[in-house]
Amino acid sequence: MNKVYFFVGTILLASFLQGCEKRESVTLLYEGNKIVVNTLIQPDSVIYTRITRSVPSNVLIDGNNTDISGANVQLLEDGVPLASPAMQTIKGTAYYVSGSKAVLGKRYEVRVAVPGMQAVTAMDTLPGVPLASAAAAQVNSNRIRFTLKDCPTANNYYRIRIYVSNPDGNDGSFWQFRLDPAFNNNLVDFFTQGASNSLIMSDERFNGKEVNFVLQTNNPIAATTQITLEVSALTYNTYQYLNTLTTQLRSGEAVISQPVRVFTNVANGYGIVGGINTKKLVFKAE
Amino acid sequence: MSLAGKLLAGILILLYVPLNVFGWDWQTRVTVIVRNQPIEAVCNILEKEYGIHFSYSRELVNLSRKVTLTAQHQRLKKLLEDLFAPDDIRFTRVGEQVVLVPAQRTTRTISGYIKDAVSGESLIGATVYAPALKQGTTTNQYGFFSLTTVKDTNSLFISYIGYGPHLQQVTAKGDLWLNISLQPTGSLKEVVVSARENKLQEQTQMSKVKLSTTELEAMPRFLGEVDVMRTLQLLPGVGGGMDGAGGLYVRGGGPDQNLVLLDGAPIFNFSHFFGVYSLMDANVVKSTDLYKGAFPARYGGRLSSVVDIATKEGNMKAIHGNASIGLIAAKFDIEGPIVKDKTSFLISARRSYPDLLLNAAIQSDNSLGPNGDFKAFFYDINAKVNHIFSRKDRVFLSFYKGEDNLGLQQTTNDTAAISGLHTYKGVTSRFKMSWGNTIAALRWNHIYGPRLFSNITLNYSSYTFATQYGHRYIMPVLGETTDLFGKYSSRMENSGGRVDFDYRPHPRHAIRFGAITTMHYFKPGNSSFENKGTPVQPLDTLNTSLRVVGGELSLYAEDDWQLNPNLYANLGIHASAFLVEGRFYSSVQPRLGLRYVLPRNWAVKAAYTHMNQYIHLLSSNGTTLPTDIWVPSTQRVAPMFSKQVALGVAKTSSNLKYEFSLEGYFKSMHNMIENAENNNITNTGATRWDENVIVGKGWSYGSELMLQKKKGSTTGWIGYTLSWSMRRFPGINYGEIFPFKYDRRHDIEVVLMQQLGEHWEFSASWHYNSGTPITVPVSSYVGTGNASPWDPGTGQPVIDRYDNWNNYRGADVHRLDVGITYSKQKKHWRKSWNLSIFNIYNRKNPVFYYMESDPVTKQRYLTRVTLLPILPSITYAVKF
C-alpha cells in the first residue's frame, strides 16, 4: 500500500511540475525604425555592405523583410569618399559592393542616409594578417592542430572557424568544434560539452607567445577531406560585436538573467562596420 | 492685673507659641493647587499657608521637577508621599521642620531562568514584571533574566506566549535567585506570529519579528514541509525569489545581505533544493528572530537583515520525539535527558526520498545501462547536547550537517546501437554535484552575579560546492577512446569565537557588550580538467591554489536606557576591522533607537543604523545558486556598507489580542557589485573576479503595515508593504538608475488560522505582489558574421536590441495556500494528518519569460512560463 502511495505521489508530483506557458497580450516597447549597417571589411577584398532597418521585437525577421530600398550609401577611405558602391543581389540578398578593394592601413567609414530615417555613420580600421600556420589533422581523428604566433605589442583578437569542402568542390557549412577541453578551462563549456562553429577570443592568456591550438571537432575527419581552417584577426570593434553577438545567440530567448547587449559602433543606428583579416589554411588530413 | 491674671496670661502666651509652631501634624489636611510648577513651589505654599518649613540641601535634593497638583483637604503625609516618591526623596519631621534627604539607594536584584515546566527548555523573551513597581524585563536568548530595582516588591508576574502566566510571590529581602517554570497551554496554536512577546509599546526594538516552532507548524505546507524561510516571506518587508524560491530579499536588499545565524554560527547557504526549502527541519527550531532594521549593536557583518535561529536544547525531563512523512521528505527527531535535569540531547534527521523511487524504476528497466545510477536528494542532521554544571554554568554543544546531492551515471554497452563506424559513441558518462553546510558551535553560559550574565561561543561553519564530470566515448572505426574528466569545487569556511555580556546594573539600564572574532577561509573556484586520451599538455590552467585568509574583529556595546518614564533609548556602537591579504578595513557603526510612549499607550519609535559587510557573493545571474562563491573585499571592491533610518508607531492592545505596527524606512547601500554587462563569471578564474564586476550603490525605501490578531480561536495577520528598490552602477544601463530585480511595489500577505473544535485546525495564507521588473528587447534587426557573402554559412543572425535594464513589469503574482490538520491524542502519543494545497486556485504565476517565435503568424510573443500550479500534499506525523 505504501509503495502504491509513493508511486502515485511521485507521478502526481512529476506531472504537476511540468511547466506551462502562456503568451502575454502586451505591447512591447519599440525604439522606432533605425538604419542597420553591417559590413566586415577584409583587406584586398571589395567591401560588401548590407543595409536593413530595425523592426519591433514582436516581428519575426524572416528572409529579407527588413531590407531598405533607396538608401544613399557612401564609403570613405581615410576620410576621402570612394566611388558610390553598386547594389548587387548575391545569393538572394542585396548588398552595396564597393568598386575598389580595401587596403590594409587605411581607415574606412560608411555613411548611410535613408529618407524619413535618421542618417547613420560608422568607421573602423583593418587588422594585420594573423600569423597562423602548420594546420594539420590526422585521418579519422577529430582533432585539428595549428600554430598561432601572437604579436606582443598590442591587444589582439581572433576568430577561428572550420569548414570542409564538399566532394563537388563547393564549400560546406561551418563545422561544430570546441577547444580541446583540456585546453579550454571554460567550466560551462566543459560540463555542457558545448561546441560551436566559431571560437572568438582575445590574446589575454597567450599574449606575445606562439601557441599550439588543438581543436576538437564534432565529426571525424575523413581521408580525402579538404579542410579549411579560417583564422581571422579582428579589430576591437569587430571582436566586441562578434563576441556579444555569439553570447546573445547562445543565451537563447529566455528572459531570466540580464540580457546581453550586442555591441554596435553605428552612430544613430545599429550594426557593425568592422575590420577583419582572415587567413585561410587549407589542408588535407594526413 | 492680679497675680493670677498675670500667671494665666503668661501660660497662655507660653502655650500660644508651641501651638503656633506645632500647628500641624501628619494628619493635617491641606489644600494645594498648582499647575506645572516645580516641587519647590509646593513646598513654599505649604510653608506660607500652613507654616510647614522644609529643610534640605540643594546639592542632594532636587526639587526642580515640575508637577501639576490638585489636592483638596488631603492629609499632609499622603500629599508628601505622592509628591516626593517619584524622585526617591525621603522626608522626616525634626522639630518644627520637615527635613528632606535623598532616599537610601538600596537596590536589590532578582535574577534567574524561566523554563518550560514540561520539557525544561529555557524560554527566550519571556516577560518578568513587577506590577507594583511598574518595572519589568525579558529573558535573554538563554532564558536568563535580571531585574534590579531600588524598591522592594512582593510579587512578580511572568508571562510567555503559549504558556499560562505565573504570579511569583517574593517575600525575602535582598537579592534573590529564581528558577521559574511555566506550564504550556493545552493548544499552542492560539498565537501564530508574534512581533513581541510583550507589548510592542514596551520594547524600544523595532523592525523585528519573532517566530516560534508552534507558529511555524500552523502554516500551510509546501509539498508537505513546514518551512522557516517560506514563513518569513509572509511578513511585511520580506520577499522571496520567483515562487518563493531563491532566498530572502529584505527591505530591497539582496540575498547575500542576510546574516543567518544557527545557534550563533553563521550560515552561508540557507536552503536546500535550489532555494526551495530552508536548510533545516522546522521541528528542531525553538525560535527565529528576524531583524529587518534597527539592528542591535551585537549583530554585524551583513547589510540588510539578521535571522537568528535558536534550536531546541533537548528535553530535560523525559524522552520525546516526532516522526513524519510528507510528499517530499521523511524526518524524525528525538530528545530527552541523559541525566535528568542536568544533561539533555536532541537528534534530528531528514531526507528527501523521491529519487529512491525513481532510481528503483530506472534500475528495473535498465534505462541507464548496467551500473546506471540516479540520485537527487537532500538531507540534514542536527545533534545537540546541553549540560547544566551548576546554577551558574551551562554548556551547549550543537552540530549541523546538511547536503544536497545530484548524481547520474550512465553506461552504454549495447554496440548494436552504434549506427555508424565513423561516429563517436558514448560509453559511460557520470555526473555528480553536491553542496552543503557543516556547522558546529560550543557555547558556555556563565553567571558572574545576579546582574552579569555571559555567553562564550566557539563556532565553525563551512559551505562546500563540488561537482565532477566524466565522459568516455569511442569511435569504432579507429578504436579511439576519449576519456574526459573534470572537477570543480569551492569552499568557504568561518571559524571564530564571541563573548557576550549581559549586564543589568540599574532598573533603567540594560547593557550588553562583547567581542566577536572570525577567521574567514576562502577557497573559491578550484578546477581541474583532464583528457586522458591525449598526451598533449594543457595550454594553461586556472589558478587552482587560490586560498585567501581574512581576519575580522568586532567590538560592541549597547544600552537600553530609560531616560524618563515615557522616553527610552537604545544606544549602541559596533566597531569592526577586517584584515585580508595585507589590506586593512575598519568601520565604526552607530546603532541608535528611540521610543516615546504617547498617551493611550501608543509608542513612537525611531532607529538609525549603519551596517558593514566585508565579504561579497559572486552570482552568475543575480539569484542565489549553489555555484555562488563568497570572496573577500579587494583593492578594487571595497566593503559594502549601508545606512538605514526607520520611523514607526506600534501598539499592542491592553488585552494582548491585537497588535498594530506601521513603519517607514529608507536604506542606502554602497559598494554593491553587479556582473559587468556581457560577462559570465564562471568563464574566468576566481582570482580576477573583481575585474569583471562593477561597483555601485542602491537605495530602498517604503513602509510596512502589520495588523495582527493574536488570541482566540481565530488568529492571523494582514501585512502590507509599499516599497521601492533601485540600483545604480557605472557602465550598466548607461549609468542610469534602474529598478532592482525584485523591486515589488505592493506586497500583501493575509494569514488566517482557525481552530475548529478539539481536533481540527484550518489555515490559509494569501500572497500578492505586484510584478517584478524584467528586461525585454526594444527592437530586432539582422546581423552579420562574414566579410563576404561568398563565404560559407550565409545565414544572417537576428539580434535583439536591449536598452534600459528592467524596462518591463512582469505579471502580478498571487496565490492562496490552505491547509487543514486533524490531530488526535492517543494514550502515549499524538497523531496528525495534514492536507495542504499550494496555489489552490491554480494561478499561473511567472517564473521566467521568453520570446517565442511563431513562424506561421510571423510574430514573436513574450511568453510567461509557470512551474508551480496547484500542488496538494499530505503529511502524516506522530508525536510522543
Q: What is the DSSP string of B76-132?
A: HHHHHHHHHGGGTEEEEEETTEEEEEEPP---EEEEEEEEETTT--B-TT-EEEETT
Which of the pair, B387 or B601, is modelled with greater confidence?
B387
Find the DSSP H helices in B186-341: 213-217, 228-232
Dist. CA A66–CA B789, nearest whole Å: 17
Burial of A116 (0-12, 13-18, 19+ CB in 10 A): exposed
The phi, psi pair for B357, rounded to 5°, reads -70, -45
Amino acid identity for residue B773 in this structure: P
Half-sphere exposure of A158 (CA within 13 A, CB side): 25
Cα dihedral B671, B673, B678, B681 in deg (nearest 10): 140
Give residue B416's pLDDT: 46
Residue B577: is its pLDDT beyond 90? yes
pLDDT in tens, A69-90: 889 999 999 999 999 999 999 9
Dist. CA B491–CA B525, nearest whole Å: 8
In angstroms, what CA-CA distances link B374 with A190, B357, B371?
21, 10, 10
pLDDT in tens, B150-179: 666 778 888 887 788 888 888 767 788 888
pLDDT in tens, B493-528: 999 999 999 998 887 889 999 999 999 998 887 777
Give residue B424's pLDDT: 60
Mutate to test the interface with B, among A205, A253, A263 (most CBs of B within 10 A): A253
Cell of B829: 502519543
Which of the pair, A235 or B327, is modelled with greater confidence?
A235
Pairing of strands B830-838, B813-825: antiparallel
DSSP letter assigned to residue B821: E
Q: Give pTM, 2 decimals.
A: 0.81
Chain A to chain B, count of Cβ pairs less than 8 Å apart?
294
pLDDT in tens, B839-854: 999 998 988 888 888 8
DSSP for B330-358, please give it.
EEEEEEEEEETTTEEEEEEEEEE-HHHHH
Mutate to test the interface with A, among B527, B781, B876 (most CBs of A within 10 A): B781
Residue A141 CA, distance from chain mean position:
27
Give the mean model confidence (pLDDT) for residues A196-223.
Answer: 81
Which of the pair, B624 or A100, is modelled with greater confidence?
A100
| Mean pLDDT of all residues belonging to chain B | 84
Q: Do B718 and B704 touch, CB atoms closer than 8 A?
A: no
What 3-state class would DSSP assign to B20?
helix
Comparing A20-34, B161-175, B405-419, B760-774, which segment has the lowest mean pLDDT?
A: B405-419
Q: Do B474 and B428 touch, CB atoms closer than 8 A?
A: no
Dist. CA B479–CA B160, nearest whole Å: 76
DSSP for B367-405, please give it.
TT-TT-EEEEEEEEEEEEEEEE-SSSEEEEEEEEEEEEE
Mutate to test the interface with A, among B480, B775, B862, B868 (most CBs of A within 10 A): B862
Dist. CA B216–CA B229, nearest whole Å: 10
Residues of B with Cβ-Cβ distance to A259 under 8 angstroms: 775, 777, 800, 802
Of B805, B694, B276, give the one whose Cα is nearest residue A257: B805
Give residue B14's pLDDT: 39
Interface of A with B in 113-132 (CB under 8 A): none
Gap from A246 CA to chain B (nearest CA, Å): 10
Comparing A123-127, A187-191, B610-614, B842-846, which segment has the lowest mean pLDDT?
A: A187-191
Give residue B248's pLDDT: 87
User: Measured in Å, how far apart are chain A's first and last C-alpha atoms?
Assistant: 65
Residue A222: is its pLDDT beyond 80? no
Give the mean model confidence (pLDDT) for residues B216-222.
Answer: 78
Kindly indicate the confidence band of residue B678, based on its pLDDT and cuts at 50, 70 and 90.
low
pLDDT in tens, B776-816: 899 999 999 889 988 887 578 899 998 888 888 989 999 99
Give the mean model confidence (pLDDT) for residues A191-216.
Answer: 77
Q: Do B306 and B261 touch, CB atoms closer than 8 A?
A: yes
Q: Which residue of A has its CA nearest to B532?
A: A182
Residues of B with Cβ-Cβ distance to A117 under 8 angstroms: none
Give the mean model confidence (pLDDT) for residues B125-144.
Answer: 82
Of chain B, the percentage scoring pLDDT greater than 90 comes to 37
A50 inside 8 A of chain B by CB = yes
Give residue B21's pLDDT: 44
ipTM of this model?
0.91
Which of the pair, A59 or B60, is modelled with greater confidence?
A59
Nearest Cβ partner for B621 among A56, A66, A256 = A256
pLDDT in tens, B79-102: 888 888 877 788 888 888 888 887
Half-sphere exposure of A27 (CA within 13 A, CB side): 2
Residue B681: is its pLDDT beyond 50? no
Gap from A275 CA to chain B (nearest CA, Å): 9
Gap from B485 CA to chain A (nearest CA, Å): 9
Q: Do A146 and A136 touch, CB atoms closer than 8 A?
A: yes
Give residue B624's pLDDT: 64
Of chain A, the percentage scoring pLDDT greater than 70 comes to 84
Dist. CA B472–CA B284, nearest whole Å: 45
Kindly indicate the confidence band of residue B412, based on its pLDDT and cuts at 50, 70 and 90.
low
Give the mean model confidence (pLDDT) for residues B276-296.
Answer: 88
Give the mean model confidence (pLDDT) for residues A129-140.
Answer: 86
Give the mean model confidence (pLDDT) for residues B670-684.
Answer: 65
Cell of B772: 517584478
Half-sphere exposure of A60 (CA within 13 A, CB side): 13
Dist. CA B77–CA B673, nearest whole Å: 70
Contacts of B359 (CB under 8 A, 6+ apart): B373, B374, B375
Give residue A117's pLDDT: 93
pLDDT in tens, A27-39: 778 888 999 999 9
Residue B10: is its pLDDT beyond 70? no
Give residue B151's pLDDT: 66
Residue B16: is its pLDDT beyond 70? no
Gap from A17 CA to chain B (nearest CA, Å): 6
The phi, psi pair for B202, rounded to 5°, reads -105, 10
Q: Which residue of A has its CA nearest to B785?
A: A242
Residue A254: is its pLDDT beyond 80? no
Which of the pair, B484 or B395, is modelled with greater confidence?
B395
Dist. CA B324–CA B834, nearest whole Å: 10
Dist. CA A150–CA A206, nearest whole Å: 7
Give residue A2's pLDDT: 39
Give residue A49's pLDDT: 95
Which of the pair, B814 or B541, is modelled with greater confidence?
B814
